Structure 1
């Protein structure tokens, strides 16, 4: 079954991204980065590449949130696009999945080559 996507992230996704990013950076950088995510044009990236760039493990389908997203996928419901903050390969800093880790995993479990609509920005300062 193909994964279907909403045209744009939901408002609460940006709040979730801000909560997560606040663990990594000061509030000024977080606020500017989330503002950039809201304005960023959509890009498409493969599930397998997102996980690799972020250095994240694939969560199993037994994970409650992944299972819920798989249920949405099998029911033909649309998922919200992923919010990403670019890492720095020169410094060994990984990509940050600011919001959507479970959706990436569910998409990967459906098809690792799934094209995922994302908002991708660099850290703003």
Structure 2
């Protein structure tokens, strides 16, 4: 059975994205980025490519959240689209899965080539420093 998706992310997904992103960036940047996600046009990306771009490991079926999403897939329930924030290749900053990591993993375990509906935006500067969250840690590793 294939993965079915909702047309739009659920409102609580944006709240979860903001909570996660708040650990990476200042409040104004997070607010602007989440607002951009809300207004972004849907795109489709494959589960395997999302995991690679975000440099994330595939969570196993034994993970409780992945298991719950796999059960939803099996029951024919629709999953919420994924919220992504683009990294910067020139700075070796990875893409962030702002919300939906477990759904990506469940989709991958179903079929790694499953097209996943996403909202994909770049970090929004909000008039701050113009830096990309995560770039500082990359510079420290040099």
**TM over 0.5, yes or no?**
yes
Q: In the alignment, what sits opposite 1:91?
A: 91
- TM-score w.r.t. the length of structure 2 is 0.88
Q: In the alignment, what sits opposite 2:51?
A: 51
Q: Aligned-residue CA RMSD in angstroms?
A: 0.3
Mapped to 2, the partners of 1:108 and 1:90 lie a distance apart of 28
CA apart distance, 1:90: 1.0
**Is 2:64 the counterpart of 1:64?**
yes
Mapped to 2, the partners of 1:46 and 1:79 lie a distance apart of 15
Aligned residues: 125
Unaligned runs of 5+ in 1: none
Q: Deviations over 1:56-97 (max 9, x none)?
A: 000000000000000000000000000000001111000000
**Is 2:88 the counterpart of 1:79?**
no
1:1-125 equivalence runs, <5 A = 1-125=1-125
- TM-score w.r.t. the length of structure 1 is 1.00
CA apart distance, 1:33: 0.1
Unaligned runs of 5+ in 2: 126-142
Where do 4+ consecutive residues of structure 1 move more than 3 Å? none
Structure whose alpha-carbon radius of gyration is higher: 2
Mapped to 2, the partners of 1:110 and 1:87 lie a distance apart of 26
Q: Deviations over 1:30-74 (max 9, x none)?
A: 000000000000000000000000000000000000000000000
